[in-house]
Amino acid sequence: MVTGEVFKTSLVLGLDAEFSNKLTGWHPFDDSKPAPFFNKSWMFGVEEGFDVVIANPPYLRIQEIQKNNPDFANKLKNSYLSASGSFDIYACFVELAVMLINGKGNIAYILPHKFFQAAFGKNLRKIISSKKLLRKIVDFGSSQVFESATTYTCLLFLSNQNESFKFAELKPDTKANDLGEVFDAINSNDTVQTEKVAVTLMSNASVTEKEWHFSAGNAGDILSKLRKQPRTLADVCEKIFVGLQTSADKIYFLKHISEKNDIVTAFSKSLNREITIEKDFVKSLLKGADVHRYSRLEPKIWCIFPYKIKNGKAVLYTQDETKKNFPMAWSYLLENREALENREHGRFKTDCWCFSRPQNLTEFEKAKIVTPDIASCCHMTIDEKELYHTTTIYSFVFKSTCKESIKYYLALLNSKLLWYFLTTTGSVLRGDYFRFKTNYLMPFPIPRELSLDAQKPFVALVDQILAAKQKDPDADTSALERQIDLMVYKLYDLTSEEMAIVWGGMMYEL
């Protein structure tokens, strides 16, 4: 039927002019031309909903959509509950599929599993959990399904009102040609454990809008045991925070050259030359590469710090204060003024020397534990120098009401048990690296409060390790660290079999 005839026919059927115009732009037999609308009744003759919705939805963050098509971005936010926060459009596609299926319909999607724990996924998790939609999940872990992408994906199978669902977790060495075995496993018994995949049966009643941390096989059993502990890291930490956010690191971060008479000589990447600046206007700054397991901290760069800490608050120096008290710093800022003013589309023209995100500025000058944000094992150490750091580091500041020593917490956080917890619940990266992000660390279970006497063995071993690393950063402290691991396992009441799993297959006697 030609376009004009479609238009005339639609008017005869009593459709409004707007919908009639949309019909004229629909070319059902030309797959190179997308339809300007969707109507399941007109297009598919479906009234009650679809039996099956299958898709590999697009993966696109709202920031990109907002930049390229702001009207569409607003439409998403106004139309979908899942379009909240820093969302990805695939969340909206899942919500749409839920609306499109009938009472007995099924959804089969391949998509990133980031929404399981991400803040933006809360509303989507609520939609799925409130309707008990989970039927099957196949988590590919670190295996890359798409060669050209670095997203970590899962197969998500949904249908209405399921009392339970199956969760399948692929082992790290599983290949594409092993998927037949994976699907045989998830479609057979309720619980399966092979060299390629572990499958477990879970209850939908236990799933809510809170973060999802699913694990199959032995890992699931151990995690359940750990979560019986009375506290989490979030309960004992005053704050877990990331480093300084400037939006102009090339300007603010300076490579140390020398220091004399309270004047620092450093190299500026933005000017591509050495500069001199007042020491009172800069802070020693750590990068992620400076932080190593139980090792001393030796910052190699400075950060221009245009704030004064006053009554527990960070206050930006005024222009007059900076010019009068820090003339070399003011001269340097003026040389970079244009770049500073143009950050984030000119947001900082008034006080262009400020940081783009001045959060947590009063938290650094405290004793804390620091960790690189990405690591291949636990690489934590104590910062007693109260240093500042970049966004490639996370810091742990503990509550003043906690009676445990910071060295006791360092023993827990550098243990193999925390690494096991992270690798089974956190964000896996290529090459067996993991993200030490706040939302992955905060749920780590913490045992009951220990007396000072009970902490002493942990503190004594940590002191020995720190002293050895102070003398020689490459000192072998593995025997001491093994003793800490064994004591940590005992704290959590792990059996020798569970210890072997956490340790990676090696058996040890308590």
Higher-confidence position of 98 and 436: 98
- Return the axis-axis angle of helices 406-413 and 452-471, rounded to nearest 10°: 70
Dihedral of alpha carbons 325, 329, 331, 336, sign? negative
Whether the pLDDT of residue 7 is over 50: the answer is: no
What is the spatial distance between Cα 366 and Cα 382, in angstroms, rounded to a whole number? Answer: 11
Range from 220-234, 339-353, 404-418 carrying the lowest mean pLDDT: 220-234
Length of the chain: 510
Dihedral of alpha carbons 269, 273, 275, 279, sign? positive
Q: Which residues contact 322 (CB under 8 A, 6 or more apart)?
A: 281, 306, 329, 330, 333, 353
* Per-residue model confidence (pLDDT) at position 173: 62
Residue entry with tokens 């804390």: 368
Q: Residue 56 to residues 40, 100, 142, 153: CA-CA distances in angstroms?
A: 19, 16, 19, 11
Q: pLDDT of 430-485, one tens digit each?
A: 656 788 888 788 889 999 999 999 999 999 999 999 999 999 999 999 999 999 99
Q: Name the 3-class secondary structure at 176.
A: helix
Q: Are 35 and 26 in contact (CB under 8 A)?
A: yes
* Per-residue model confidence (pLDDT) at position 439: 78
What is the spatial distance between Cα 407 and Cα 377, in angstroms, rounded to a whole number? Answer: 18
Torsion angle of alpha carbons 125, 126, 130, 134, nearest 10°? 0
Q: Are 456 and 246 in contact (CB under 8 A)?
A: no
Q: Above pLDDT 90, what percent of the chain?
A: 59
* Per-residue model confidence (pLDDT) at position 209: 93
What is the spatial distance between Cα 315 and Cα 462, in angstroms, rounded to a whole number? Answer: 37
Q: Above pLDDT 70, what percent of the chain?
A: 88
Q: Residue 45 to residues 15, 39, 42, 183, 363: CA-CA distances in angstroms?
A: 17, 9, 6, 33, 61
Q: Are 286 and 370 in contact (CB under 8 A)?
A: yes
Confidence of residue 35 (pLDDT cuts 50, 70, 90): confident
* Per-residue model confidence (pLDDT) at position 175: 63
Cα diameter, the chain: 90
Q: pLDDT of 397-410, one tens digit each?
A: 999 888 899 999 99
What's this model's pTM, rounded to 2 decimal places?
A: 0.69
Q: Where are the domains of the chain?
A: 1-47, 51-214
- Return the axis-axis angle of helices 416-425 and 478-491, rounded to nearest 10°: 70
Q: Are 365 and 309 in contact (CB under 8 A)?
A: yes
Higher-confidence position of 429 and 15: 429
Q: Which residues contact 333 (CB under 8 A, 6 or more apart)?
A: 304, 306, 322, 340, 352, 353
Return the CATH number of the domain spanning residue range 51-214.
3.40.50.150
* Per-residue model confidence (pLDDT) at position 443: 87
* Per-residue model confidence (pLDDT) at position 15: 53
Confidence of residue 6 (pLDDT cuts 50, 70, 90): very low
User: 3-state DSSP helix/strand/coil percent for the chain, to nearest 5?
Assistant: 40, 25, 40
Q: Which residues contact 100 (CB under 8 A, 6 or more apart)?
A: 40, 49, 50, 53
Amino acid identity, position 471: K
Q: pLDDT of 133-165, one tens digit each?
A: 999 998 876 555 555 444 678 899 999 989 999
Confidence of residue 180 (pLDDT cuts 50, 70, 90): confident
Confidence of residue 509 (pLDDT cuts 50, 70, 90): very low
Nearest by Cα to 81 from 103, 101, 69, 98: 98
* Per-residue model confidence (pLDDT) at position 29: 76
Whether the pLDDT of residue 510 is over 50: the answer is: no
What average pLDDT score do residues 305-334 get? 95
Please give the full DSSP string across 361-411, using - where no structure is assigned: TTTSSS-EEEEESEESS---EEE-S--EE-TTEEEEEE-TT--S-HHHHHH
